[in-house]
Amino acid sequence: MKQRPLAVTVIGWVYIVAGAAVFASHLPELASRRVWQFDVWGVGLIELAAVVAGIFLLRGRNWARWMAVAWIGFHVVVSAWNAWSRFAVHGVIFAGIAWLLFRRDAGRYFQASA
């Protein structure tokens, strides 16, 4: 397997840490009597998806880079209903992650791991 590009390593770890941190911050809600509320479980599942994407980015799975881009793309769409500034920031992050994960060096890394 080829050496993992630094950008893939950084993005993978950011997804793992951010997903785990937000999931952990919602644990009290998951443990409360409001356990069956969709929004609480939805946030938990979305953040676990970030952890999964990060882990498999580090392992070189091609589907994980698509999942990572879809995950941040989902946040762009959701932030469109919030403040314009959040939408813009998520859009810039989306563009940066997509560009870094689909550069030539990243493509070679993900192909070599297939």
Give the predicted TM-score (pTM) of the model.
Answer: 0.88
The distance from CA 37 to its chain's CA centroid, rounded to whole angstroms, is: 23
**Which string of DSSP letters, residue by residue, matches 89-108?**
HHHHHHHHHHHHHTSHHHHH
pLDDT tens-digit profile, the chain (114 residues): 579 999 999 999 999 999 999 988 887 877 775 556 667 778 888 999 999 999 999 999 999 999 999 999 999 999 998 889 999 999 999 999 999 999 999 999 999 766
Give the span between the Cα atoms of 11 and 4, in whole angstroms: 11
Give the span between the Cα atoms of 93 and 75, in whole angstroms: 10
Residue 42: predicted pLDDT: 80
**H helix runs in the chain, sequence order:** 6-25, 27-31, 38-58, 62-79, 84-101, 104-112
User: Are the beta carbons of 87 and 76 closer than 8 angstroms?
Assistant: yes
